[in-house]
Structure 1
């Protein structure tokens, strides 16, 4: 009887294992056909700054089918071009529709690069994925409509602090900003003079947190507030050995940085720099940094919508095509100023980098 019982148990185990194997073989997932995103009812949407929580637009789309009962997510993306070169993710839902408020849509199109106070074409698509790992992404058709955004400053600004920099370890001493890339809002650079010493990066002048540094390698770390501060640049509390010119690059997309020597051979040292253009009421002289002769600035400069350029004492003219920040070139386009405010304006004549930081927006 004991032998028969053991045999029965073995047979049952084989049947269970076979059943599990069959179930696993039947679980197959394939890409869904693209969902269909419906056109919106209104083709011209003027965003209302006075009522930011009011609904602006509703998007509806068909259901995805991955061939299995599993969690499907729909990521609504907005872009300023039909190729979705730099799409902005607006929301990620598991339903077949979503409604965006005035403020949500304004923030999305602003982050996508659409300028305020004028009609622009916005492009929208839905990217479907399956599971918590966002597997098998499939993009829907693209729809477009015209939108009139109000102003929304979508950028963060960052400042140097430390004994290797002009302000020293003073968090509110006209700290030089990092120069934000004109096309990649997560990429910042500062090419200039550094003393032998150390430095960190702050998000708000006058506050020690959020504070950025490194604990080693090429990764950046942050104390957003209430935690432990990271180590200093350029290498986890290891000081810059020799004073000189360096390029510091920080990329918030992948939380990486680099710090490399910069050659200034052949660079021109200008004796004066002015801001000229329709945005400024008059030609405005810039102040040359006493720490680094290639860095120029003017604080709290009132600017109106229009454009500006940088003019040197040699009458060379430098301009760029992107608002708020970018890289100026000799005889380049006038820099667009799209909203009235007071600005801290900084210009680096070594690299052409410029940044206009609004103070009240």
Structure 2
């Protein structure tokens, strides 16, 4: 009888020890999972913080650039308004009139002129319309970056709510307080849903896509205006239409595309029927000159004309001639037309 009781006690003790070991194993597993979740959340927070810092820096750089462009534009307009006054002062100087001391005013005009040159180097444009378009494009880029920063802020708050939910789940797994954990988890879930509902009113991806479309239209508009202006100077198409507001961008770009297509067609008609050798010789004799904006933005180089070496092996029937391909001939014809345009109109004077 005693042996039977002793055996039952040993069995109960073994079962209790087994349950204890199982509980300890579950606790260790829960703690390990919690630590892993915290490490993952910490790495995500660090990555998100780095991205937010990067976007904030981009936004600050754009802001400083806008301020610099605004000052340069104001200086440019003041410089343009002061041109008649400067001419009047130079006339008085030639007449020998010394009624007032203009040294301070001349120094101010020199500063304005340096600001104007800086504005040309920054924007790459020589007219007011081009400067304004460059400024608007940079403004759209800044708005796009600001929208990305706001989107990252929303994602950061969502991750913080998720981390709070995981913390509550860890507490429930470690301390087995399921009732309190369910209440805390429900409150954290409600806060996250409320934040998601508040953030759902703004479609950040749609705003970023609209900004990219605006930038593409601005670049297309600049390229078409430059092409149509060059064709108009060559008397291939009529003068380009007046620049319109953004509300009429579609009709304006359609009209510019039609003018560019008509000008290219007329240009190809003029080049038909010409001999390849004559085109190559005129291209070799032509001297090209680029404007400041063309030197800055043009990356194409005219192909060099390499003559084949003469045969000197006693054969007097003639030298070998290197034949040009169709692509080279078309390129040389394009360079001839560009040379005629630049020879006729020259550089702009500022």
TM-score of the superposition, structure 1-length normalised? 0.23
Greater fraction of residues in strand: 1
Greater fraction of residues in helix: 2
User: Looking at CA atoms only, which structure, 1 or 2, has the larger radius of gyration?
Assistant: 2
Greater RCO (Cα-Cα under 8 Å, separation 6 or more): 2
